[in-house]
Amino acid sequence: MDKILLIILREYITRVRKKSFIVMIFVVPALIFLMGYVLTLVGKNSQELSVDQTIKVSDQTSIFANKFTNIKHLNFESVNSPISALKEEASNNENLSILIIHKGYTMKDSVEILSKKKPSIIVLNEVSKQLNQIATNRNLIEHHINPAVLKAINSDISLNAIEITKTGDNKTNIGANIAISISCAILIYLSLFIYGAQVMRGVIEEKTSRIIEVIISSVKPFQLMMGKIIGVGLVGLTQFSAWIILSMVSTKIAGHTLATTPGSLFGAIQVLQTIHFGPILFYFLFYFLTGYLLYSALFAAVGSAVDSETETQQFMFPITLPLLFTYILAVSVLFQAPDSPLAVWLSIIPFTAPVAMMVRIPFDPAPWQIALSMSLMVVGFLFTTYVAARIYRVGVLMYGKKASYKELVKWFFYKE
Amino acid sequence: MLSIRNIVKQYAGHTALSGVSLEIESGQIFGLLGPNGAGKTSLIRIINQITAPDSGEVYFNGVKLNQQHIERIGYLPEERGLYKKMEIGEQMIYLARLKGLSRAEAIKRLKVWFAKLGMETWWKLKIEELSKGMQQKAQFVATVLHEPDLIILDEPFSGFDPVNAEIIKDEILELNKKGATILFSTHRMESVEELCHSIALLNLSHKILDGKVKDIRKSYRNSTYLIEYQGEKVNLKDTLPFTILEENHGDDDSYGIKIKLNEDVSVNDVLQYLLPKARINLLQEVIPSMNEIFIEQVNLIR
């Protein structure tokens, strides 16, 4: 036991001391933050005009003239100049468009907008919205309906989704749930791979540097394998804790500074604050740990069977397949139907459960499913660890022999 | 010290050891010899409890080999290796602690060894920053740092330049003098005769020869002598009490002949025959070297 601790400590310390580890702690959240910032910025830009635009309206029906309302950065101007002169003017000014409304405006394509550049979607939408409004109003009046009355009797109903729970009714935000479930799936998928691969690389390093024989003469192969797996796992947990603390601190700060200037970012943070992170965090850590133990044991076995990283391909494929498959399903289908039979089954089978269950967690799956899934995870990682350890103990001492699946089966049945 | 009884080890498809038994006495330097693939490394791995035999037992000081013995054995594998990116000091401490030493004790002993082998400045260096010879030196220190009772060295001199090989050889002898039993496997026969008290020769998974080096060589005596004399060349006629194997003319007036005695003839008879004819400088029995015995034995099996 003492020796396992020594191994864990070495694996942990050598990795945590690396500069890349410390850099990762700060760079990853910074990148995520930056990405979010850029996204909101882009979103904002596409919803608003940034430059003043003028639309000269040449109305041949005299229904629309002077009825347009100016909005920010977009001015309407009714003119009577000849169209050729207007065209001449517009061809010299990028921010000028000509709107020509012909007499038979109700016919298809009889309203034209001319400009030097292709007009933006925002401008087009605004113009057509106003055109329709004015035309509708005119029609209403023609049919002796007062637009003001119509507006008053128009209803405006929006749905507010509320979940009934034992602790009280909860406001739910479906969008936020989907965001959480997808990001959890991505995070768990990536971290299983990253840390699993680290274990594998560590095993290969010991094998190629030939230190394995020295160590195996001091400790049992199983101790070395478990020490490495636990050590790397702790590195992963450290990384996550650092990220969680960092993000909590930064949300707090962002919440304070943005509280005075409500913007879309503040809104996003407010939405996030309505989600119960406690249980999600608990399940995330559970599925990360068990999933990691399950997969890293297999990764370790693969590492023990090869002489260099380039040879890992043939063994990596069947290991990564279930994860990749679930991941692709998770981000495309599962979040839309978190209670479908496919989602339920995937969230119970240990090899796919870490990703699939994390997608389902924000949508509150049935407790028996969670319980079954969690206990199968434990059974699953005990099983893979047992299998992997039997392959590992033989594999680490085999040099220069190209291992095949047949070979691995043979190793599994070797006596001590 | 070590009693190896009837070890059998089979791998899929081939037998690595078939019924090998050895006795290694305490305080000995024991040489494990044999061509490649004879089963030396398999046997060493069994003694180190890296693998277990299919049948047979190993006794360490009369006790069946178990996990407690790990700390009393130091092992230098043929394929040397250390963590490339780890600092030497930390790495040595780590390896020593895996063998049951406390951190403080490991540091204390390391300082002594580093001073002894001129490695003081290496403490903070990484393995990848050292030359191959330096790495070997570091690995040797890691092997013996926990002062094991039994030191197992697999091809200890490979990879050392002559100067460092000499240093390591002296260290091995000193450790042996202090009471450590040393088991080493090698192809280098000169070092066997120089260092080993006893040997065992393995070939194709079988032990084909073992015993004290002196006894083995004696048993391979074949009445061959080397004689050197001075003066006129002796005309050796056909009615000789011996057969001539080799004859050569040395510097000055000296002649050397290598002879094999006829049956029922003692070396004194030869002297009596030669004394009236020449001035004898040297008479020496030619005992086959371990190298010759090794080659002869291995070829015999083939």
Q: What is the pLDDT of residue B59?
A: 94
Does B79 touch chain A if contact means CB atoms closer than 8 Å?
Answer: yes
Average pLDDT of the segment spanning B5-26: 89
Q: How far is CA A102 from CA A57, A91, A325, in A?
A: 11, 21, 57
A213/chain B closest Cα distance in angstroms: 7
- Answer whether B70 sits within 8 Å of A217, measured CB to CB: yes
* pLDDT for residue A259 is more than 60: no
**Digit-coded pLDDT (tens) for B268-284:** 888 888 888 888 888 88
Q: Which residues of B touch A411 (CB under 8 A)?
A: none
- Domains of chain A: residue spans and CATH: 2-32+173-413 (no CATH), 53-153 (3.40.190.10)
Of B175, B174, B195, B171, the residue nearest B185 (C-alpha): B195
Candidate from A14, A215, A416 with C-beta closest to B98: A215
- Answer whether B50 sits within 8 Å of A218, measured CB to CB: no
The alpha carbon of residue A166 and the mean position of all alpha carbons in its chain are separated, in whole angstroms, by: 30
Does B51 touch chain A if contact means CB atoms closer than 8 Å?
Answer: yes
Q: What is the pLDDT of residue B182?
A: 94
User: Please, which pLDDT band fits residue A383 given cuts at 50, 70 and 90?
Assistant: very high
Lowest-pLDDT choice from A292-306, A374-388, B272-286:
B272-286
* pLDDT for residue A363 is more than 60: yes
Rounded CA separation A347/A375 (Å): 12
**Digit-coded pLDDT (tens) for B101-132:** 999 999 999 999 999 988 889 999 998 898 88
Q: Which residues of A touch B97 (CB under 8 A)?
A: 6
**Digit-coded pLDDT (tens) for B174-214:** 999 999 999 988 877 777 888 899 999 888 889 988 899 88
Q: Searching chain B, which residue's CA lies closest to the CA of residue A220?
A: B50
User: Please, which pLDDT band fits residue B79 given cuts at 50, 70 and 90?
Assistant: confident
Q: What is the pLDDT of residue A382?
A: 94
pLDDT-above-70 percentage for chain A: 87
Q: What is the pLDDT of residue B289?
A: 83
Domain B2-218 matching CATH 3.40.50.300: the answer reads yes
Q: What is the pLDDT of residue A289?
A: 92
Q: What is the pLDDT of residue A43?
A: 63
Q: Which residues of A touch B98 (CB under 8 A)?
A: 3, 6-7, 215, 218-219
**Digit-coded pLDDT (tens) for A95-137:** 888 888 887 777 777 788 888 877 777 788 888 888 888 888 8
User: Please, which pLDDT band fits residue A255 given cuts at 50, 70 and 90?
Assistant: low
Q: Searching chain A, which residue's CA lies closest to the CA of residue B127?
A: A209
A234/chain B closest Cα distance in angstroms: 19
**Digit-coded pLDDT (tens) for B216-268:** 888 888 888 888 888 777 777 667 778 888 888 877 778 888 888 888 888 88
A376 vs A56, residue with greater confidence: A376
Q: What is the pLDDT of residue B58?
A: 93
Candidate from B54, B75, B98 with C-beta closest to A219: B98
Q: Which of residues 155-214 of B touch A (CB under 8 A)?
A: none
**Highest-pLDDT range among A155-159, B15-19, B296-300:** B15-19
**Highest-pLDDT range among A111-115, A150-154, A335-339, B280-284:** B280-284
* pLDDT for residue A385 is more than 50: yes
* pLDDT for residue A317 is more than 80: yes
**Digit-coded pLDDT (tens) for A184-218:** 888 889 889 999 999 999 999 999 888 998 999 89
Domain residue ranges in chain B: 2-218, 222-286
User: Please, which pLDDT band fits residue A222 given cuts at 50, 70 and 90?
Assistant: very high
Q: Which residues of A touch B77 (CB under 8 A)?
A: 210, 213-214, 217
- Answer whether B51 sits within 8 Å of A397, measured CB to CB: yes
Q: How many CB pairs under 8 A join A and B?
A: 62
User: Please, which pLDDT band fits residue A262 given cuts at 50, 70 and 90?
Assistant: very low
Three state DSSP letters for chain A: CHHHHHHHHHHHHHHHCCHHHHHHHHHHHHHHHHHHHHHHHHHHHHHCCCCCEEEEEEECCCCCCCCCCCECCEEEEEECCCHHHHHHHHHHCCCEEEEEECCCCCCCCCEEEEECCCCCHHHHHHHHHHHHHHHHHHHHHHCCCCHHHHHHHCCCCCCCCEECCCCCCEECCHHHHHHHHHHHHHHHHHHHHHHHHHHHHHHHHHHHCCCHHHHHCCCCHHHHHHHHHHHHHHHHHHHHHHHHHHHHHHHHHHHHHHHCCCCHHHHHHHHHHCCCHHHHHHHHHHHHHHHHHHHHHHHHHHHHHCCCHHHHHHHHHHHHHHHHHHHHHHHHHHCCCCCCHHHHHHHHCCCCHHHHHHHHHHHCCCHHHHHHHHHHHHHHHHHHHHHHHHHHHHHCCCCCCCCCHHHHHHHHHCCC
pLDDT-above-90 percentage for chain A: 26
Average pLDDT of the segment spanning A13-40: 83
Q: Which two tokens stand for residue A243?
A: 């990220």
Average predicted confidence (pLDDT) for chain B: 87
Rounded CA separation A19/B222 (Å): 69
* pLDDT for residue B299 is more than 90: no
Kindly state the DSSP code that residue B272 receives in the 8-state scheme: H
- Answer whether A217 sits within 8 Å of B50, measured CB to CB: yes
Q: What is the pLDDT of residue B272?
A: 85
Q: Which residues of A touch B86 (CB under 8 A)?
A: 14
User: Please, which pLDDT band fits residue A165 given cuts at 50, 70 and 90?
Assistant: low
Q: Which residues of B touch A415 (CB under 8 A)?
A: 52, 54
